[in-house]
A and B are shown apart, each in its own frame.
Chain A
């Protein structure tokens, strides 16, 4: 069963066809990768799925329902969360607040509840606080709870961003180059974390990655994008030997790295 399905999705920026007639599926419960050379349109695909951009053509189905035209906040509420290639935490808020705010989408009390300070409000706030601490603990970040997010070490900021995304309780998690700027040991730990996330929370993961090692080690299915077009799909091994993929990556040494 495909949790996410792109049907002929296109996006044009002026004269540039950033994504052209893209059709692909992300099966529920699996790890799917989207790879491609720089400028291939990978991040644009994520921006289309999350509603940051509106496609100029095609449909994006999540759990069978079309997402096109929904504002980003509504798409999050349907169960899609993401991280960014360049870390986009609320740097001046504490690590704990970064995770707490991610619960906003699921809050059930009304806007006036705070003034009356009724029991449902207090109970829910306490539950959110407890859940937020728990997310920090799961990601090994509890000791930073009261530190400004911007002061955390780089690798921990990446983990915090994933924790924040998970706190919105997504069914689909989009990771945009989560291993960017990490050394091999950190990449290894990140792969471990992603496997654990998928196993523990039944979350479907769709990730963009440059590091082939990570894609090969994690994903069941890989889609390759070049100049906005899908040029290959298959298992990591099939894709690695695909002539058009080799051609697209030629000079980048992607086949070997």
Chain B
């Protein structure tokens, strides 16, 4: 039992990071019906921004978090403005290919400008271990969980309680009517990219805090996993992305705990495929009713 409880703590840590990234996929999908395949690489750039803020500028944790979120949000808005907006009315496959291209661009721009050599993230959080009953929790784990939880609560309230959040949800229901409420769809979409990218940067910093080696390709696998988490939870549904991330984190940690760790991704993804066969719209997803 203590062993399982300990694994749950690890699952929460991993799930928190996946959740922050998965939210970006689901938010952008909600307003644009586009899978932003560059999002994993936006997460990677966010990790590098955090690295520069911490290692080069010597900022402490909170300023690093805010600076990295702001810079990455700006990057997300620029990507939308330069790469996706011109294709808003193009066939969807063009936008998907552009997204893949933006991802490759970010990876190789980072590679060319900072080099392939992995960087070591300086420790920003004094490490200590707390014993809570049978479970050991590190300060790093606590910070990751609390920061992720706080950001998710803010996002959830923003989207559900404010007019701007309402406008984001309205765009996902009927984009063409939103301007008739006096709302600029372009601004809502730009805001969505800013929020999604900012959350990915937070995920990047938290990831680098837990696993302090960062390199230009780190966003590929993590990005795919967060994407899967968003789909499992129900793409386009914000609470679904959070739930899917913790389901995926839990599956990974439990498989790794009881089986050889090489089985981890294989079994975790197998389970998720199975889930999607029986519930293709995801755990909290809504079925798209296609009008004929």
Measuring CB to CB, which residues of chain A are less than 8 angstroms from any residue of chain B? 50-52, 71-73, 76-77, 81-82, 84, 88-93, 97, 100-107, 111, 114, 125, 128, 164-165, 168
Contacts and interface: CB of A to CB of B under 8 A. Distances in A.
Given A50-B180, A76-B181, A76-B182, A91 B173 contact: yes
Nearest to B184: A73
Contacts of B183: 73, 101, 104-105
A90 B169 contact: yes
B180 A82 contact: yes
A10 to B, nearest CB: 23
A46 to B, nearest CB: 11
B173 A105 contact: no
Given A73-B181, A128-B163, A165-B180, 16 more contacts: A50-B180, A72-B180, A73-B180, A84-B177, A88-B176, A93-B170, A97-B166, A97-B169, A101-B170, A102-B182, A105-B181, A105-B183, A107-B163, A111-B191, A114-B164, A168-B180
Contacts of B170: 90, 93, 101
B279 interface: no
B92 interface: no
Interface in B25-81: none
A114 B161 CA distance: 10
A93 B173 contact: yes
Interface of B: 158, 162-164, 166-167, 169-170, 172-174, 176-177, 179-185, 191, 286
8 residue pairs, one from A and one from B, having the closest CB atoms: A105-B182, A72-B179, A76-B182, A90-B173, A73-B179, A90-B170, A88-B177, A101-B166
Given A72-B179, A103-B163, A90 B184 contact: no
A95 B180 CA distance: 17
B182 A92 contact: no
Contacts of A97: 166, 169
A104 B167 contact: yes
Contact of A71 (B166, B176, B184): B184
Nearest to A83: B180
Nearest to B169: A93
Contact of A168 (B167, B169, B173, B181): B181
B155 to A, nearest CB: 12
Contacts of B164: 104, 111, 114
Contact of A92 (B173, B181, B191): B173
Q: Which residue, A101, A105, A106, has most C-beta atoms of chain B within 10 A?
A: A101
B2 to A, nearest CB: 41
A76 to B, nearest CB: 4
A87 B199 CA distance: 36
Contacts of A104: 163-164, 167, 181-183
Nearest to A165: B180
B177 A90 contact: yes
Contacts of B182: 73, 76-77, 102, 104-106, 168
A76 B162 CA distance: 20
B286 A114 contact: no
17 contacts: A72-B180, A73-B181, A73-B184, A73-B185, A76-B181, A81-B180, A84-B177, A92-B172, A92-B286, A101-B181, A102-B181, A102-B182, A104-B167, A105-B181, A105-B182, A111-B191, A164-B181
Q: Which residue, A50, A76, A84, A90, has most C-beta atoms of chain B within 10 A?
A: A90
Nearest to B172: A92
Q: Which residue, B164, B169, B181, has most C-beta atoms of chain A within 10 A?
A: B181
A100 B176 CA distance: 18
Nearest to A174: B180
Given A71-B184, A73-B179, A105-B183, A100 B173 contact: no
A104 B180 CA distance: 10
Contact of A114 (B162, B169, B180): B162
Contact of B166 (A52, A93, A105): A93
